[in-house]
Amino acid sequence: MPVKWLLTHLLPGVLLCALLGGGAWWLHHQGYTSGFNKAKAAGDTALANEKKARADERQQLAEKGQQALLDVREREHQEQVRADGLAGQLADREQQLQQAQQLLSLNIQKAVSDDNQASQQGSQCGYNGLGLAACSSTGRPSDTPVVVTPAPVIQQAIKPPREMVTAAPMPPAPSAYAGGAKGLPPAALLRHAADYGAWCQTNAAKLRALDVFFWPEGHKD
């Protein structure tokens, strides 16, 4: 009798409690599993996004470094091209300078040779013919004193030929030899010096002729 009563009155309650407890556990388990899966998915997504961001950052840094290296190499190439161009210009200038020095040397040799030939003909200027102030109007070197002897009174009335008393025309001014260039180049200075020396020699010849004309006795053998 008591057993039957227990089975009749208590067993349904026990079964109901067990059923409710099992349902509650199942619901809890399903909720936990769902939350865990959602959290895991969110964590995996965040981790993947972080990895991608870091990978993109490394890629950008690598690209920037590569671009900087390319820029440096390009600048080096440009500087090398510029250096090669300057070296070529320097070589051309050195060649031009060497040619100018050779031409100047030839002009100097020619001017000295012409002056030596004029000196051998009796101009008495010699090397001094190249100096703008080294040759006096008499054709003698400027450091040689010139002694002038008064002419006899009777010969003062005698007029020498016109070509003896007419001085040679002065050579052009130094600036005329420059050809419009700024300053006076060495070659122009040499030409002016040679013309000036020739002018001195011409006037010296005229003065010697006048000397012979007025004092012929002083030139007799």
Q: Is residue 18 part of a domain?
A: no
Q: What's the rounded Cα separation, in Å, for the pair 196 and 170? A: 8
* Confidence (pLDDT) at 217: 66
Q: Is residue 2 part of a domain?
A: no
Q: What's the rounded Cα separation, in Å, for the pair 140 and 216? A: 20
Residue 78 reports pLDDT greater than 90: yes
Count of domains for the chain: 1
Tokens (6 digits) for 196: 């000036």
Largest CA distance in the chain: 201
Q: Is residue 197 part of a domain?
A: yes
Mean of pLDDT values over 55-69 = 89
Q: Tell me, what amino acid is at 162?
A: R
Residue 157 reports pLDDT greater than 60: no
> pLDDT tens, 109-125?
776 676 556 555 544 44
Q: Tell me, what amino acid is at 114?
A: D
Q: Is residue 204 part of a domain?
A: yes
Query: CB under 8 Å to 104, separation ≥6 — which residues?
Result: 186, 187, 190
* Confidence (pLDDT) at 136: 40
Please state the pTM of the whole predicted model: 0.34
Q: Is residue 78 part of a domain?
A: no
Q: Is residue 60 part of a domain?
A: no
Mean of pLDDT values over 96-114 = 76
Instruction: Give the domain range for residue 104.
Output: 97-219
Q: Is residue 34 part of a domain?
A: no
pLDDT band at 142; cut points 50, 70, 90: very low
Which region holds residue 152: left if phi is over 0, alpha if psi is between -120 and 50, else beta? beta
Q: Is residue 17 part of a domain?
A: no
